[in-house]
Amino acid sequence: SAGAFLWSAGYFLDRFDLLFSPTGVVYGAGYADVHAELLALNVLAVLTAIFAASLPLAMAKRAWKIPLGLAALTLVSGVLLRNLYPAIVQKYFVEPNEFDREKRFIEYNIAATNSAYGLSGITLKTITPDEAITWEDIEQNRDTIENIRLWDHAPLLRSFKQLQEIRTYYDFSNIDIDRYSFEDQYRQIMIAARELDLSGMQNPTWINTRLEFTHGYGIVMNPVNEIAGSGMPRLWIKDLPPTSEIPITVKRPEIYFSEKPSSYIFVGTTVKEFDYPMGDSNVRTAYEGKGGVSMGSLFRRILYAVKFADFKILFSDVFTGDSRIVYHQNIRERLSRVAPFLYFDQDPYLVIFEGRLVWMQDAYTAADRYPYSQPVSLGRGRTVNYIRNSVKATVDAYDGTMTFYASDPEDPVLQAWSGIFPGVFRPLEEMPAGLQAHLRYPQDLFNVQSEIYRIYHMTDANTFYNKEDVWDRIGGDRKGFMEAYYVNMRLAGEDKSEFVLITPFMPVNRDNMIAWMAGRSDGENYGELLVYQFPKQKLIYGPSQVEALTNQNSEIAAQLSLWSQRGSAVIRGNMTVVPVGDGILYVQPLYLRAENSELPELRRVITSTGGRVVWGETLGESLLRLLGPSDGMPLPPARTEVIAEPRERPDGDPGAGGVLSFLAREASDAWESARKAIREEDWEGYGREMKKLEQILLEMKTLSGN
């Protein structure tokens, strides 16, 4: 009898699973589920309940006729009602009038999906962009232009490895993008941690790997848009110990906790730790942090010897009363040990805070039981249909201190976990202001949201049913999705530049651009999503179309062919779509790697607007060629050594003032680069910068007529 009641309860609970049905026009209960499957489950729940109630009476009277009849009726009803009846309703009643029958359920699915992924509060703006950007757009959006990223992750990572790893036991595993404010500047930067990598150690003894080589050291930081001599990135923070060109310093450069796979080390032993190389000798140090577990007792040494199957821990005489074992050094593993119920972003990023290195880690609460919401895969077999960036976590790179902040206290999933583990999550307001300034819209969440939004921006049920306006995120080479990217820019209608994460959209199976999405990261606007949509009747070039225009440019094609014939590898960087004022600017860096060399050089910057494509050695030169310095003025020649012929300034030139201002800044940059080249005894770089300065001054002289 009890089993029969459980059978009935199972049918009763199965009714709620219809809210997650994957078989209809959309995810969730459809017409056939509600009007046929639900009826079947209700009938079966009642029949099995009656069957369960009849069993005690039948046992008492030893009369099994009624229970057996009910059992047979239930089995037959199960076959007819759960299989045959819903199929008949679907085929003969729903499919001939599918949209009319399913409209209400399509609307449920659209509303639920947008709500579950945080898209219901998105701000939609329709804009009509100009055919091409102008010098006026450049001047009004200087912060945007000065923060356009010219360094892709892969070429820059190779440069960092070649220039700054310094020793084989160091490694740069990842590059992060962030922004810093200093000296009235708001600059976008790229930063990488110099992590310890023992796989490159020539003598990996137990003493070396567990006691002496215990931590990475320092960082490398560069502005996203600046080029040093010979096409190398300009490094603001570099070397061992770290030196800085900017008023941001690293006072505690040791990295004990990082993105590298976890191991275990011992600190506070009689063996001095290796800190960093200095000439022919090494600088030594002793750990001063509070990370790790005390190894003061023999009992603990026995436990850890068993845990790590390392019995040298028992017999070594290097341990003292102050010795500690440090493990769970990988930051995501470390955080997941404390909060295994959170999903962690794939890209933690490093921040300099009060001279210390601090890892920022975005974390998500997620669920797979949100009614009617379309599921999405997060990889590794994880499928969810609800997600929130509810937590911001920090990990101190020196002592491993972890702090969890509730960035979305209204999230019901986080509220449930906070109730179970009180005190784990602090209010976001308690995060120090210096760390809050580096909060950013997480890229993993943004990728999920943009993937959902490319379909679920269609909120009209009829449009959604017919899939009339599906978007795509195809990159410039049409070989895969275009990754979202961070940029400092001034959004339309805003007064100042801000750090945003953006991605463009194209109509499916089309190459023109139809919209772009932005996730805001700064101040009170943090977490807001904006979508700027273009009129469907107006052609706005997409990345693949600009790529095609680039391939058709005879000057560019000829030079690329020449480089290839000389054995150099040409590396095309990612194309960046940059909204500038009411126009769109496309920027693509081009790198050259000589044969038998792993060091890529930034040799050209391709720019495009309004269907025109040019390139130059720098972004400034490329823009001058793209826009034509002003009406009546010549474009710089295509060759590297540029000599301009002075000519009189056209009368009444409306754009002269803006161009002069732009050229003045370019001249100042060239002069500073030349001075830096002298300090570094880079005479080739000095000659190149002086030649560039000469060209700019000639342009200014021609423009001013003086």
> Would you state the pLDDT for residue 430?
96
Q: How many CB atoms lie within 10 A of CB 511?
A: 18
> Would you state the pLDDT for residue 280?
80
Distance of CA 4 to the CA centre of its chain: 52
Percent with pLDDT over 70 in the chain? 90
Nearest to 174 by CA among 198, 193, 187, 199: 193
What is the C-alpha separation between 584 and 534, in angstroms, rounded?
11
Q: How many CB atoms lie within 10 A of CB 386?
A: 24
Q: Is the pLDDT confidence value at 702 over 70?
A: no
Each residue of 572-586: b (16+ CB within 10 Å) or e?
Answer: bbbbbbbbbbebbbb
Distance of CA 78 to the CA centre of its chain: 49
Q: How many CB atoms lie within 10 A of CB 381?
A: 6
> Would you state the pLDDT for residue 595?
76
Q: Do 500 and 489 form a contact (C-beta atoms < 8 A)?
A: yes
> Would you state the pLDDT for residue 58?
62
Q: How many CB atoms lie within 10 A of CB 495?
A: 7
CA distances from 290 to 193, 353, 400 (A): 21, 18, 8
Nearest to 384 by CA among 335, 442, 448: 448
pLDDT band, residue 166 (cuts 50/70/90): confident
CB-based contacts of 13, cutoff 8 Å, min separation 6: none
Interstrand relation of 515-520 and 195-196 (parallel, antiparallel or unpaired): unpaired
pLDDT tens-digit map of 3-52 = 767 877 888 888 999 999 998 899 999 999 999 989 888 888 887 877 77
CA distances from 536 to 133, 506, 513, 614, 662 (A): 20, 11, 9, 27, 34
**Token pair of 20, please?**
């997650």
Helix 619-627, helix 656-679: angle, nearest 10? 160
Pseudo-torsion of CA 103, 108, 109, 113, nearest 10°?
150
CB-based contacts of 384, cutoff 8 Å, min separation 6: 343, 366, 367, 368, 375, 376, 378
Q: Is the pLDDT confidence value at 605 over 90?
A: yes
CB-based contacts of 17, cutoff 8 Å, min separation 6: none
CB-based contacts of 226, cutoff 8 Å, min separation 6: 233, 234
23-27, 405-409, 460-464, 657-661, range with the lowest pLDDT: 657-661
What is the C-alpha separation between 57 and 482, in angstroms, rounded?
68
What is the C-alpha separation between 344 and 361, in angstroms, rounded?
7
Q: Which of 283-292, 624-633, 675-684 has the highest mean pLDDT?
A: 283-292
Under DSSP, the state recorded for 84 is I
Q: Do 202 and 180 form a contact (C-beta atoms < 8 A)?
A: no
Alpha helix stretches (DSSP H) within 211-297: none
What is the C-alpha separation between 307 and 391, in angstroms, rounded?
32
CA distances from 418 to 170, 406, 413, 439, 525 (A): 39, 9, 9, 22, 25
Maximal C-alpha separation, the chain = 118
> Would you state the pLDDT for residue 585?
94
**Token pair of 521, please?**
């990261």
Confidence (pTM): 0.84
What is the C-alpha separation between 631 and 652, in angstroms, rounded?
10
Q: Do 74 and 338 form a contact (C-beta atoms < 8 A)?
A: no
Instruction: For residue 600, report the phi and psi dihedrals to the nearest 5 degrees.
Output: -75, 145
> Would you state the pLDDT for residue 683?
59
Q: Is the pLDDT confidence value at 651 over 50?
A: no
Helix H or strand E segment including 517? strand 515-520
What is the C-alpha separation between 436 and 416, in angstroms, rounded?
25
64-68, 354-358, 364-368, range with the lowest pLDDT: 64-68
Helix 65-79, helix 38-61: angle, nearest 10? 160
CA distances from 20 to 14, 32, 358, 369, 585 (A): 11, 14, 41, 7, 44
pLDDT tens-digit map of 220-239 = 999 999 988 778 999 999 99
Nearest to 331 by CA among 173, 159, 157, 158: 173
> Would you state the pLDDT for residue 641?
32
Q: Do 94 and 102 form a contact (C-beta atoms < 8 A)?
A: yes
pLDDT band, residue 682 (cuts 50/70/90): low
> Would you state the pLDDT for residue 378?
86
> Would you state the pLDDT for residue 646?
33
SS3 content of the chain, % helix, strand, coil (to 5): 40, 25, 35
Q: Do 66 and 51 form a contact (C-beta atoms < 8 A)?
A: no
* Amino acid, single-letter form, for residue 459: T
Instruction: For residue 206, report the phi and psi dihedrals to the nearest 5 degrees.
Output: -65, -40
Under DSSP, the state recorded for 261 is P
Q: Compute the C-alpha angle 571/674/678, nearest 5°.
A: 110
Q: Compute the C-alpha angle 653/659/664, nearest 5°.
A: 140
What is the C-alpha separation between 425 and 624, in angstroms, rounded?
52
**Token pair of 413, please?**
């999933």
What is the C-alpha separation between 702 and 646, in angstroms, rounded?
5
pLDDT tens-digit map of 181-214 = 998 889 999 999 999 998 878 888 999 999 999 9
- Tokens 């701000």 correspond to 123
Q: Do 252 and 398 form a contact (C-beta atoms < 8 A)?
A: yes
**Token pair of 333, please?**
């593993």
Q: Is the pLDDT confidence value at 611 over 70?
A: yes
> Would you state the pLDDT for residue 632?
38
What is the C-alpha separation between 313 and 319, in angstroms, rounded?
9
Instruction: For residue 381, report the phi and psi dihedrals to the nearest 5 degrees.
Output: 75, 10
